[in-house]
Amino acid sequence: MSRSIVWAGLAAWLLTPVWAAEPQSTQPVALHAARLVDVVSGRLVNDPWVVIHGDKIAAVGDRSAVPYDASVVELGDTTLVPGLIDCHTHLADMPDVADPTVTLRYSPAEIAYAAIPNARATLQAGFTTVRDVGTYRAFNDVALRDAIAKGLVEGPRMYVAGAYLTITGGAGAMTGLAQDIPLPPTLHYGEANGPWEVRARIRDLAHRGADHIKLLSTGAVLTHGSNPKSIEFTPEELSAAVQEAANFGLKVAAHAHAVEGIKNAIRAGVASVEHATLIDDEGIALAKAHGTYLDMDIYDEECIQNDPTEPADFLQHDRDLADVQRVGFRKAVKAGVKMSFGTDAGICPHGTNARQFAFMVRYGMTAMQAIQAGTINAADLIGHPELFGSITVGKSADIIAVPGNPLDDIQRLEQVQFVMKEGRIYRHD
Ligand SMILES: [Zn+2]
C-alpha cells in the first residue's frame, strides 16, 4: 500500500463526522415532564426540560435549553427523578437465599441464568445502579456486572463484592452441612481468620474484580446456626480489612446486627454499616462522628413475616429485631447520621425495592430525604458522586419518571413509568 493511499484513508477517516457511523447516538434527546426532583438543592423544579447527548446529561433548564434537532420525549404529568440506587442487593444469587445450601443444588451456569430476571426487574423498577453486597458462589456477581456493562443482559450498573468476607462458620459462610462434606473453593472463597488472612483475601478479591469489600462483623438473621447478636470479626481483623481495602482504593461495607459489632466496624473505619439492627445511642453518635453511612433495610421484615415456610419462633424473634431496628433508624435520622438506601433485595422479590421508601418516611425521613438516600447519598457511598446520583449536567443520563409528585406521595416511586440508563430508554409506559 502506498503512503499516499494510507494518508488519503486517514484523512477521510478524520473528516468523517462521528454521526455518520452512529446516527442515533448524537441526536440529542429532550425529556419534558411536569416536575423534577433536584436532589442537590433539595427542591422541586417545575416544567423542566432535560437534554441528553449520548449517555450524558447535556442541559437542564427550560424550553430554551432544547436544541432544534432534539428528539422530544413528552412525559406529561410525571416527575423526573434521578435513577434510583439500591446499596444493598443480592442480584447474583438464587432467589431464596434464606437457606444457602440451596446453592449446592445448582451449577454456576444455572445460578448465572437465574440472576438475569433479577437484574432486569431491578432496572425496570427504576434502579439504574446497585451496590451488590455478596453472593454465595464467588464472582457470579462480577460476571453479571460485566455482562450488563457489555449489553448482554439488561440490568442496572453494578458495583460488586465478589464474595462474602467472613470468619469460618460465620454469617457469610455456607453452614449447615455435615462436617465431612468438602465445599468447592468458590463456595467458601471469602473465609478468613486473623488480620493477615483477611488482607490476603482482600488482595485476591481486588485482583479478581471486586469493587468493594463486604464483610460480616456479626452473626446473621437468616443464616443457619448464626446468632445476630454474636461478634464475628475482631477489631484487629476489621482494621486490617479497612486498611487493606484502602490500599486498592476499595471501601468496606460491614454487615452488623449486634451493637458491639456495629461499633467495632465504625471505629475500624468502614464506609457503611449494613442493617445496624441493634444500634444504640453511642453507636449513632459514633456513626455521626466518623461520617459512616447507615444502610438500614427497614422494609424487608414485611416479606419475612409473609413467608409461610418460616417457623413461628423464628418469626417472633425476627419481628422483635425489626421493631428495634426501625426505632434505631428513626433516632439515626433525627441525629443527622448519613443514611443510604439499601433493601437487602433478594429477601423481598427483586424489583420491589422502592417499597422501602414509604417505610423510611414512616420512620422519620421527609420524602426528599428518602429520595436523597436512594440517589445522591448512595452515589457518594459507592464512591462515584461525579458519575451519577443527580440530574446534573455532565452526569450519566440515568433518569426515571413517576406519575404525579413523589414528594406528596412517596409511593409514587413504586409506579415507575419511564427508565433511562446511560441515555438509553429501557421503559416507557
Ligand atoms: Zn444482605
Tens digit of each residue's pLDDT, the chain (429 residues):
444 444 444 444 444 433 333 444 689 999 999 999 999 999 999 999 999 999 999 999 999 999 999 999 999 999 999 999 999 999 998 766 566 678 888 888 999 999 999 999 999 999 999 999 999 899 999 999 999 999 999 999 999 999 999 999 888 888 888 889 889 999 999 999 999 999 999 999 999 999 999 999 998 765 555 676 789 999 999 999 999 999 999 999 999 999 999 999 999 999 999 999 999 999 999 999 999 999 999 999 999 888 888 788 778 888 888 999 999 999 999 999 999 999 999 999 999 999 999 999 999 999 999 999 999 999 999 999 999 999 999 999 999 999 999 999 999 999 999 999 999 999 999
Residues 6+ apart with CB under 8 A from 289: none
3-82+391-428 and 84-382, same CATH topology: no
For ligand 1, the distance from its centroid to the CA atom of residue 288, given in whole angstroms, is 23
Question: What's the gap in Å between 342 CA and the centre of ligand 1?
Answer: 9
**C-alpha 182 – ligand 1 centre gap (Å):** 25
Give the relative orientation of helices 312-335 and 281-290 as an angle to the nearest 10 degrees: 50
Instruction: Give the distance (Å) from ligand 1 centre to CA of residue 90.
Output: 7
User: What's the confidence (pLDDT) of residue 191?
Assistant: 96
Mark 167-188 as b/e (b = at least 16 C-beta within 10 Å): beebbbbbbeeeeeeeeeebbb
Task: Tell me the CA–centroid distance for residue 214 and ligand 1, in Å.
Answer: 9
Q: From the CA of 155, how far away is ligand 1's center (Å)?
A: 19
Q: Residues 307, 352: contact at Cβ < 8 Å?
A: no
How far apart CA 83 and CA 174 sit, in angstroms, is 34
Q: Tell me how far apart the alpha carbons of residues 386 and 395 are, in angstroms, rounded to a whole number.
A: 7
Dihedral sign, Cα of residue 414, residue 406, residue 124, residue 72: positive
Q: What distance in angstroms lies between residue 300's CA and the mean position of ligand 1's atoms?
A: 11
| Ligand 1 center from residue 88 Cα (angstroms) | 6
Distance 148 CA to ligand 1 centre (A): 21
Instruction: Give the Å distance between the CA of 97 and the centre of ligand 1.
Output: 9
Q: Are 198 and 241 in contact (CB under 8 A)?
A: yes
Helix pair 259-268, 235-247: axis angle to 10 deg: 40
**Residue 213: phi, psi to the nearest 5?**
-110, 130
Domain 84-382 -> CATH class = alpha beta
Q: 173: CA distance to ligand 1 center in Å?
A: 13
Q: How far apart are CA 94 and CA 21, in angstroms?
A: 41
- In this structure, the strands spanning 127-132 and 84-89 are parallel
3-state secondary structure the chain: CCHHHHHHHHHHHHHCCHHHHCCCCCCCEEEECCEEEECCCCEEEECCEEEEECCEEEEEECHHHCCCCCEEEECCCEEEEECEEEEEECCCCCCCCCCHHHHHHCCHHHHHHHHHHHHHHHHHCCEEEEEECCCCCCCHHHHHHHHHHCCCCCCCEEECCCCEEECCCCCCCCCCCCCCCCCCHHHCCCECCCHHHHHHHHHHHHHCCCCCEEEECECCCCCCCCCCCCECCCHHHHHHHHHHHHHCCCCEEEEECCHHHHHHHHHHCCCEEEECCCCCHHHHHHHHHHCCEEECCCCCHHHHHCCCCCCHHHHHHHHHHHHHHHHHHHHHHHHCCCEECCCCECCCCCCCCCHHHHHHHHCCCCHHHHHHHCCHHHHHHHCCCCCCCCCCCCCECCEEEEECCCCCCHHHHHCCCEEEECCEEEEEC
CA of 8 to the centre of ligand 1 (A): 58
What does CATH list as the number for 3-82+391-428? 2.30.40.10
Nearest-CA neighbor of 173 among 139, 223, 218?
223
| CB proximity list for 20: less than 8 A, separation 6 or greater | none
> How far is ligand 1, taken at its centre, from the CA of residue 133, in Å?
6
How far is ligand 1, taken at its centre, from the CA of residue 340, in Å? 14
C-alpha 89 to ligand 1 mean position (Å): 7
86 C-alpha to ligand 1 centroid (Å): 12
Instruction: Kindly state the cell numbers that stand for 425.
Output: 430508554
CA 360 / ligand 1 centre spacing (Å)? 18
Locate the domains of the chain by residue range: 3-82+391-428, 84-382
Distance CA 423, CA 419 (A): 10
pLDDT for the residue 377: 98
Q: Rounded to whole angstroms, what are the CA distances from 196 to 190, 235, 249, 337?
A: 13, 13, 18, 32
User: How long is the chain?
Assistant: 429
Q: Report the distance separating Cα 408 and Cα 399, nearest Å.
A: 20
Q: How far does the centroid of ligand 1 lie from the alpha carbon of residue 344, in Å?
A: 5
What pTM was estimated for this model as a whole?
0.92
Taking the centre of ligand 1 as the mean of its atom positions, its distance from the CA of residue 224, in whole angstroms, is 15
Predicted pLDDT of residue 2:
42
Q: What is the pLDDT of residue 96?
A: 62
Å from CA of 87 to ligand 1 middle: 10
Cβ(422)–Cβ(55) below 8 Å: yes
